[in-house]
Amino acid sequence: MEAILVSACLRGVPCRFDGRHKASGAAEEAVAGRHVVSFCPEVAGGLATPRRPAELVGGDGHAVLDGTARVVEDTGRDVTEQFVAGARRALAAARHAGCAEALLMPRSPSCGRGTVYDGSFAGELVPGDGVTAALLERHGITVRAAPGV
């Protein structure tokens, strides 16, 4: 059975910053018949739940991996280190399970694929990937944004 890495919040795990989940029937349908590896990079990186919201500042997840952007909470606390650590653990989990694909939560500074929040905490979106999405893609894993959320 093919394995796929999926954002844990999409599978009903209450690991979002606000302590909620984003369970998605559309995401479940998209991974039906696969061995699903549920993973939350932010929690794996050492952040608590609930926690302050965080956004990418100065660039997207690729820029964070390149050292030219940061991840910052709305309080100003820099959580780049935790986001990068969580992304590395997500990659390790994906490799361990043999995942060639990942289905991730849209817009997140970790899991976002294609669009992410712009760092203003005003709900504005810009093109780009989250830190985990960027790292997985750089290592040959096909990353898609989950539908319907």
Interaction site with ligand SF4 (CB under 6 A): 7-9, 15-16, 40-42, 105, 108, 110-111
User: Closest separation between CB of residue 6 and ligand SF4, Å?
Assistant: 8
User: Closest separation between CB of residue 8 and ligand SF4, Å?
Assistant: 5
* C-alpha dihedral sign at 145, 36, 55, 133: negative
Distance from the Cα of residue 78 to its chain's centroid: 17
Nearer to ligand SF4, 38 or 138 (CB): 38
| Burial label, 73 (beta-carbon count in 10 A; 0-12, 13-18, 19+) | middle
Nearer to ligand SF4, 59 or 86 (CB): 86
Pick from 102, 96, 99, 104: nearest CA to 42:
104
Nearer to ligand SF4, 69 or 143 (CB): 143
* Cα gap 133→15, rounded to integer Å: 17
Nearer to ligand SF4, 80 or 110 (CB): 110
User: Closest separation between CB of residue 115 and ligand SF4, Å?
Assistant: 13
